[in-house]
């Protein structure tokens, strides 16, 4: 299958991408003090130089006291962190690439003892108490407005330093997804109940981001059915329900949906071969990004624990067939790009035999 579809330009309003290859967001934890350094700058620059059209950064925490859940994760607030990201932007642009930050709040995943303020518990839609201690603070309406304001400010800052858009992280059981998911959202006010009501937080957040950046500045929204806490979880069971879930998000200001799956080739619903990105494109008429074990023969869950397993490069034939059929618009590549910054160039040049395999060791360094 010819690979040229993967290297055609993509245009959406002001967003002009040289290729359809997207670098998927991957938490790397190499930014001490929350500030991206010279190694982080070079990490992203190399991917842009080798043919990645759009880089979605690792998750970056917004300016809220409970947004972070992991050590050495970069911030997207504060003078030092934003100055660091400006250097990343300039380096990527100099290579002809485009870049957006993934704006992130981990919600109830946060644990007491986590930086930057160890005393702050997780924040989530519903309170959780363990052994007499509040381990998840149930968010008040003021808390909700504070987090929305933090996302809006981060988006405005992204625009001011020259980012090409923003991605809002609404997937994988983090804060926005915790509001979506009935297993974690037990609220009885207007932010709980039906899925439409549980979506209110995300809708208001997207609206605030749109108001902060104005029309024309791309907003990508990442969502998933699965959660880190439950890989079999499903927000919706049918295409109709998916459409009802997505339409208000699109109306609120989403330009592109980033549809997170563990394996891109798996059908989302019975009776059709379409994956989640394919259904989302069909139901919303918005461009979509597909993702999930692209270019590798082993999916990422195998590497969440210590293991000596190795994921070898895999055929792209099924992916290219779907892309040529306009099932989705863009293709996000994660671990294959993490381990091999020249992945896109090697694919374009037909040098598949030179592509590096992925092992857990790749997570230990930035290359």
Active site positions, annotated: 174
Residue owning tokens 């992916």: 319
State the Cα–Cα distance between residues 268 and 254, nearest whole angstrom: 21
Q: What is the dihedral of CA 241, 244, 250, 256, to 10 degrees?
A: 10
φ, ψ (nearest 5 deg) of residue 137: -80, 120
Q: Is the peptide bond before 116 cis (omega within 30 degrees of 0)?
A: yes
Is the separation of the CB atoms in 279 and 242 below 8 Å? yes
C-alpha atoms less than 13 angstroms from C-alpha of 348 in its C-beta half-sphere = 16
State the Cα–Cα distance between residues 86 and 78, nearest whole angstrom: 12
> Tokens standing for 135?
């381990």
248 three-class SS: helix
φ, ψ (nearest 5 deg) of residue 80: -65, -45
């Amino acid at each position: 299958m010819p690979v040229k579809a993967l290297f055609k330009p993509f245009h959406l309003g002001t967003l002009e991408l040289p290729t359809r290859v997207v670098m998927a967001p991957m938490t790397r934890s190499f930014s001490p003090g929350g500030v991206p350094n010279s190694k982080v700058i070079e990490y992203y620059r190399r991917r842009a130089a080798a043919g990645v059209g759009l880089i979605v950064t690792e998750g970056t925490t917004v300016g809220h006291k409970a947004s972070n859940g992991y050590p050495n994760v970069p911030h997207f607030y504060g003078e030092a962190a934003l100055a660091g990201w400006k250097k990343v932007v300039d380096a990527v642009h100099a290579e002809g690439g485009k870049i957006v930050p993934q704006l992130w709040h981990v919600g109830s995943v946060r644990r007491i003892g986590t930086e930057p303020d160890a005393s702050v518990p997780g924040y989530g839609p519903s309170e959780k108490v363990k052994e007499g201690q509040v381990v998840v603070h149930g968010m008040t309406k003021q808390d909700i407005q504070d987090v929305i304001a933090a996302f809006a400010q981060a988006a405005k800052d992204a625009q001011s330093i020259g980012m090409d858009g923003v991605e809002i992280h609404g997937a994988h059981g983090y804060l926005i997804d915790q509001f979506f998911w009935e297993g974690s959202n037990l609220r009885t006010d207007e932010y709980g109940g039906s899925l439409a009501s549980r979506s209110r937080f995300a809708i208001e957040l997207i609206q605030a981001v749109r108001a902060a950046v104005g029309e024309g500045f791309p907003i990508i929204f990442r969502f998933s059915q699965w959660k880190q806490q439950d890989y079999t979880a499903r927000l919706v069971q049918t295409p109709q329900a998916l459409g009802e879930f997505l339409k208000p998000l699109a109306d609120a200001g989403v330009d592109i949906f980033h549809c997170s799956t563990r394996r891109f080739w798996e059908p989302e619903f019975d009776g059709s071969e379409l994956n989640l990105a394919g259904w989302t494109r069909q139901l919303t008429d918005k461009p979509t990004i597909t993702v999930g074990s692209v270019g590798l023969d082993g999916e990422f869950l195998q590497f969440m624990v210590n293991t000596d397993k190795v994921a070898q490069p895999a055929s792209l034939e099924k992916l290219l067939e779907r892309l040529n059929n306009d099932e989705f618009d863009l293709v996000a590549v994660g671990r294959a790009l993490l381990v091999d910054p020249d992945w896109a160039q090697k694919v374009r040049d037909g040098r598949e035999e030179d592509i590096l395999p992925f092992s857990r060791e790749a997570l230990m360094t930035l290359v």
